Amino acid sequence: MKPRQTKGDRGRNVLVPKKLQEELFDYLCTRFRLKELKVLHFTDTSKALFYSQKSSIKGFSANTLAQWFGATYRACGIEGASSHSGRRHFATFLNESSVSPKIIQNLLGHRQLQTTMLYCEVSPKSMRSAVELMS
């Protein structure tokens, strides 16, 4: 990501799991009517990668994307969720999977480990796992 696209104006690399890479590949091939992405460099990419209802040129702003996530969660019957809920779930899942907090910090793009730890929820599952270490 370019610095101007991020909170705090700090650029970063975004790692994407293989499954999502495959889905994005399929989307891009459909979006640009391609069989392979090598020719994407010669394709008109002036339009947004993901369209918004209001603009196919600009796509989503940070605000409209946050609203979209909120509406999507509500439509799925998940009350009280926000655009950050996915980040919190991601951090908590990695933490419960014993991923190093420093790795989680880097993946979330936080400068301070304290900020990252605020994203890691304490679940009954993680508490049970901790207690079972004593047996």
pLDDT reported for residue 60: 80
Residue 87 banded pLDDT, cuts 50, 70, 90: very high
Model confidence at 49, in pLDDT bands (50, 70, 90)? confident
pTM above the 0.85 mark?
A: no
Per-residue model confidence (pLDDT) at position 40: 59
**Average pLDDT of span 44-50:** 69
pLDDT of amino acid 5:
62
Helical residues (DSSP H) of the chain, grouped into ranges: 18-31, 62-75, 85-96, 101-108, 113-119, 124-132
116/57 Cα distance (integer angstroms): 34
Specify whether the CB–CB gap between 19 and 9 falls below 8 A.
Answer: no
Q: Cα separation of 118 and 106, whole Å?
A: 14
pLDDT (average), residues 40-62: 71
Question: Could you give the count of Cα atoms lying within 13 Å of 44 in the half-sphere of its Cβ?
Answer: 4
| pLDDT (mean) for 81-110 | 93
Confidence of residue 12 (pLDDT cuts 50, 70, 90): confident
**How far apart (Å, rounded) are the C-alpha atoms in residues 40 and 18?**
20
Q: Which residues of 95-119 are buried (b: 16+ CB within 10 A; e: fewer)?
A: beeeeeeeebbebbbbeeeeebeeb
Count the alpha carbons within 13 Å of 9 in the hemisphere toward its beta carbon: 1
Average pLDDT over residues 112-125: 93
Residue whose structure tokens are 């600009």:
58
Q: What is the mean pLDDT of residues 32-57?
A: 70
